[in-house]
Amino acid sequence: MSLGRHKLGSQGLEVSAIGLGCMGMSQAYGPADEAESIATLHRSIELGCTFLDTAEVYGPFVNEELLGRALEGRRDQVTIATKFGFRIVDGKQAGLDSRPEHIREVVDASLKRLATDRIDLLYQHRVDPAVPMEDVAGTVGELVAQGKVRFFGLSEAGIANIRRAHAAHPVSALQSEYSLWERNLEPEIIPALKELGIGLVPFAPLGRGFLAGDVKRAEDYPDGDFRRGDPRYQGENFDLNVAAAAVVRDIADAKGVKPGQVAIAWLLAKGPDFGIDIVPIPGTKRRTYLEENVAAADIRLDATEMLGLDMALTPDKVSGPRYNERTMSLVDR
């Protein structure tokens, strides 16, 4: 089992067909387990899943430091993506900050934590309305010229800012939430990515675990678990979403695979459908789930299965917003 490669954008960035989201190794999904996380990162490299996604705000800081330790002697085997864009005060996220001087400071600090001399893909984590996008893209362009950064990406940006950024410095990838049950990119953003030649990196491709099966209600997760505050895991939303996601389980059972693998296979098939490169980055901190996720690259869904999935999980059949109101306010739409 070894993954193929995909291009992201038209500037020369090439990554594994599935990546690994590393956030959960340090926050949001229960207690950290450094030994298992490092073993998972090493296994990921063995499997050819070498596109690793982190950010300064994960932890904060400790996720980048974890990768720096895990990748000692292995740096040249992986593609590292990290992100800037938040102000961090006393170890907590305290608003947005994409001022050019702050971007430069963050990149230098990230390079140190990651124990590397270059960031392969640098994303603006969230659009900062206080800083013109041209200034953000121009600053990243300067960092590219200096060799500290190789490629530029955006996360959860809307069409106007994607276009403004791309005009100032080429954008290779947009990272946004996109999955079977979160289809907000389809009407406008995906056609724009195709037009501009920008790749898509979907995070939360398993619906934060909902599409993987074995889900529990919000209140049944421990304190500190992101899902306790996820509206889609709460109350009546939970019941309606379990019913809507039944088709994923049914198709998985019929094929003898896991529901989460079907969700990833659907995403991989969508790339050719839309005419763009799609590289999902399912997150995990355990080797078992990593191996399941990577194996999804070998699953093929026929036209009937794709249509059944498309129709069962249209936006009107998924209940509840994907974030609470405060977090949703940071999404540029």
- Catalytic sites, residue numbers: 58
Tokens 């950064």 appear where? 149
Residue 2 class from Cβ within 10 Å (0-12 exposed, 13-18 middle, 19+ buried)? exposed
Give the residue among 183, 327, 195, 326 at the shortest CA–CA distance from 263: 183
Three-state secondary structure along the chain?
A: CCCCEEEECCCCEEEECCCEECHHHCCCCCCCCHHHHHHHHHHHHHCCCCEEECCCCCCCCHHHHHHHHHCCCCHHHCEEEEEECEEEECCEEEEECCCHHHHHHHHHHHHHHHCCCCEEEEEECCCCCCCCHHHHHHHHHHHHHHCCEEEEEEECCCHHHHHHHHHHCCEEEEEEECECCECCCCCCHHHHHHHHCCEEEEECCCCCCHHHCCCCCHHHCCCCCHHHHCHHHCHHHHHHHHHHCHHHHHHHHHHCCCHHHHHHHHHHHHHHHHCCCECCCCECCCHHHHHHHHHHHHCCCCHHHHHHHHHHCCHHHCCCCCCCHHHHCCCCC
> What phi, psi does 317 have (nearest 5°)?
-105, 0
Which residues are bridge partners to 153 per DSSP? 123, 173
